[in-house]
Structure 1
Amino acid sequence: MAGSRIDDSPFGRWWRNVDRTTLICAFILIGFGYILMLAASPAVAVRIGASRNMFIFKQVMFLSVAGLIVVGVSMLSRKAVLRLSLLGGALMLGATALTLVHGIEIKGARRWIALPLMSLQPSEFLKPCFAVVTGWLLTQRRISRYFPGMLLAFGLFGVILMLLKSQPDIGMLTVITTVFMTQLFVDGLNLILVGVGVAGMIGAGISAFLLFPHVRSRVERFLHPNVGDHYQIDTALRAFGNGGLTGRGPGEGRVKDLLPDAHADFVFAVAGEEYGLIVCLLIICVFGVIVVRTLLRLIREDDPFVVISTAGLVTGFGLQAFVNMASTLHLIPTKGMTLPFISYGGSSAMSVALAIGMVLALTRHQPGERSPRGESMMNTLRQWRPV
C-alpha cells in the first residue's frame, strides 16, 4: 500500500517521492559493511586481545543506527534539514574545539572524544552540517542584499580550518575545503576566483608537506618506493593480487591477519582478497550510482538552496570513498579515511548516514515546500547571477 498513489499516509507520501534508487544503494553499502566486518574484524580483535566478536557486535549496532538515521532524516522537510544542520553544526563545532583540550590523543592527533560505547569524532558530523549551512548562507544573500552570506560562509570555513589544523586532521580539512570550493563554483563564482582558490589549495598542500612531518612522510613514501616503511600498502596490494577475479572465498583471506587496520582503513583490501575484482567493481559502481544519480537529479532542480547544499553533501561523500579506495590501491598517498558504511567506526557510519539522509530529504519531491526563510526560492532564481 505504501507504493500506491491512494496511500496518503506520511510513509506512503515519503516512499513515492524519495529517490528509491539512492536509498537502496545506501542499504546495499550497509549490507557490504556487515559482510566485510564479519570477514575482517575477528582476526583484528584476537590480535589485540579483545573478544573475537567485539567489533562485530559494535558495528552491527552502529550500522543499524545508521540505517535508521538514513530513513529518519530523509523524511524531514527542507526547513527541518536546515534547522538540524544549524543545531548539529553548532554542537559539533563546539565538540571539535573541545577535542583540543579533552580529546583522546592517537598517533599525535586529538580528534576524538571518549564516550561509553564509542569514540566520537565531531568533525565527521561537522562535514554534512557545514555543507547545508553554507548552502543556506550562499543562497540567502540573494534574497536579502544586506545579508552577508558570503562573508559568514568564509568566516565559518576559517574557524573550521583553524580547528582542524590544530588537531591536526589534514585529510578532513582537505575534504571540507573541497566541499566549500565546489559549492562556491556551483553558486556561480567567477572562474578567475576559482583558479585562485585552486592555486590556494595547492599552496596549502605544499605548506602541509613542509609543516607536518606525517604528511611529508606519506608523500615521500608514495613518490619514492625505497623510502620508509611500505608494509601496509605492499600487503594490501598483494591481497588484491591474491584475490584475482573472483577472490579466495569468504574467510580465506590473509590480509586481515597481517594489517592492524584491516577492518577500518584497509577494508577494501579484504574485499579484494576474499571476494575478488568483481565485488570490488560492484562496490565502486554502487558509490558511483549514488553520486552520479544525485548530480543528475540536481540538473532538474530549480531550488538553489537544494542544488548548492546537495552538491556539497555528495562531493564530501564521493571524495571520502575515492580517497579510501585510491589510497588502498596506492594511487594516492595513504590517508586514514574510512570507506563510507563499510569501514568499522560509529562516527563514520552515522555521519555518512546523516549526509545521505540529508541528500534524500533535499532531493525528495516536496509539493508546496518553501525556502528556509519562508520565501519561495523560485523568486530568487530570477536574480541568480555569477559573482
Structure 2
Amino acid sequence: VLRTDNSVLGRWWWTVDRWSMAALMLLSAFGAVLVMAASPSVAERMQFDSFHFVHRHLATLGPALLLMLGVSLLSPVGVRRLALLLFVFGLLLMVLVLVFGTDTNGARRWVSLAGLSMQPSELVKPSFAVVTAWLLTRPKKQGWLHGRVLSITLLIFVLALLVTQPDFGMALVVGAVWLSQHFIAGMPPHALVIAAVAGVVGLVTGYFSLSHVQSRIDRFLYPDTGDRYQVDTALNAFANGGLLGRGPGEGVVKDTLPDAHADFIFA
C-alpha cells in the first residue's frame, strides 16, 4: 500500500499501530489454543460436549476480531464518539444491574442482555479511559466545563456505582487508570497525594465493612487463614510443568482444577 493512497484501506494502513494489532492477533490465537487445551476436561465434568467451551469461544472470537478491525478504521473523532456512547450505555446498564442483576455471593455485577450474560463495568472500563483522556485534552475553561472537574465528577459517579454492587477490584482498576492519566497530564503533586489517600481510605473501609473483601485480602496476606485449593493447585502446576508446561495433552491439573478454562487457564 503506497503512502499516497487516500483510500480507507490506505489511510488505515499508514495510521494504525501495526505492532499492537499484530500482538492482539497473536494473543487471540494463543488464547484459542489454551481454551482448546484446558476446557475439554471442564466441559466433560459439567456433562457437556468436550468442545462445548471451544465452540463458544470461537463463536465470539470471530465477531470480536471483526469489531476490533472495524474500530481501528475509525478516526480519533469517531473513537471518542463511540467511547462516549459505550460509556453512557454502560452506565445505564450499571444502574439497571443494581435492580435486575444476578446476585452472586452478595454482589450484583452481571446482567442478561439478548441471551448473553455480561458485566456492564467491562464496557465502562475502556470507554471511561477514552472519555477522561478526551476531557483532559479540552481547552481549559472555568467552572464545571473544566476538563479535570468533569473527569473527577465522572470518576465519583462510576466509583459509587461500582462500590454499590460491590466490585472493589474494578473500582481499584478504574481509579488507577484515572490517577495515571492525571499524573501524565501534569496533575499537581498535592492533588495526587489526596487522590491516593482517598483510595487507601476506600480500601480500608471496604475491608472492615464487607466480609468477602476482608476474606480475600486476609487470604492474600495470610495464606493459611482460608481455602486456597485453587491457588495452591495452580502453583503446583507451575512448579511441576514450568512456564512452558509438560507438552500438548500431558497436563493433568486441568482434570481437577474447577476453573481450569477461565481464571486459571495458564495453570
Q: After TM superposition, where is structure 1 displaced by more than 4 Å over at least 4 residues in a row?
A: none
Amino acid at match of 1:203: V
- Per-residue Cα deviation, 1:265-315 (whole angstroms, up to 9, x for no partner): 11121xxxxxxxxxxxxxxxxxxxxxxxxxxxxxxxxxxxxxxxxxxxxxx
State the secondary structure of the residue aligned to 1:24. Answer: helix
Kept in 2, the 8 Å contact 1:4–1:12? The answer is: yes
CA apart distance, 1:151: 2.1
- Give 1:337-356 correspondences, 5 Å limit: none
SS of the counterpart of 2:263? coil
Name the CA distance, whole Å, in 2 between partners of 1:116 and 1:51: 24
Shift of 1:117: 4.6
The equivalent of 1:180 in structure 2 is: 178
CA contact (8 A) 1:135 1:183 kept: yes
State the one-letter code of the partner of 1:227: T
- CA displacement at 1:75 relative to structure 2: 0.9
Q: For 1:1-387, list aligned pairs within 5 A.
A: 3-142=1-140, 144-145=141-142, 147-244=145-242, 246-269=244-267
State the TM-score, normalized to the length of structure 2.
0.94
Amino acid paired to 2:64:
A
Cα separation, 1, equivalents of 2:42 and 2:242: 23
Count of equivalent residues: 266
Q: Distance in 1 between matches of 2:147 and 2:243?
A: 51
One-letter amino acid of the counterpart of residue 247, structure 2: G
8 Å Cα contact 1:141-1:150 kept in structure 2: no
C-alpha offsets along residues 173-232 of structure 1, whole Å, 9 cap, x if unaligned? 110000111111112111121122222222222122111111111111122232111101
| Pairwise CA distance, 1:141 | 4.3
Change (3 A) 1:245 1:44: closer
Q: Distance in 1 between matches of 2:172 and 2:262?
A: 20
How far does residue 12 in structure 1 lie from its aligned partner after superposition?
Answer: 2.1
Shift of 1:169: 0.9
Q: Distance in 2 between matches of 1:149 and 1:249?
A: 52
Structure-2 residue corresponding to 1:311: none
- Name the SS for the 2:90 alignment partner: helix
TM-score by length of 1: 0.66
> Quick one: higher RCO (CA 8 Å, sep 6+), 1 or 2?
1
Secondary structure of 1:119's aligned partner:
strand
Output the CA distance in 1 between the equivalents of 2:79 and 2:191.
30
5+ residue gaps, structure 1, are: 270-387
Matched position secondary structure for 1:226: helix
The 1:65/1:81 distance shift into structure 2, 3 A limit, reads same
* Closer/same/farther in 2, CA of residues 9 and 141 from structure 1, 3 Å limit: closer
- Superposition deviation, residue 108 in structure 1: 2.2
Shift of 1:258: 1.6
C-alpha change, 1:245 and 1:212, in structure 2 (3 Å) is closer
In percent, how many aligned pairs have the same letter? 45
Q: What is the distance in 1 between the residues matched to 2:266 and 2:170?
A: 20
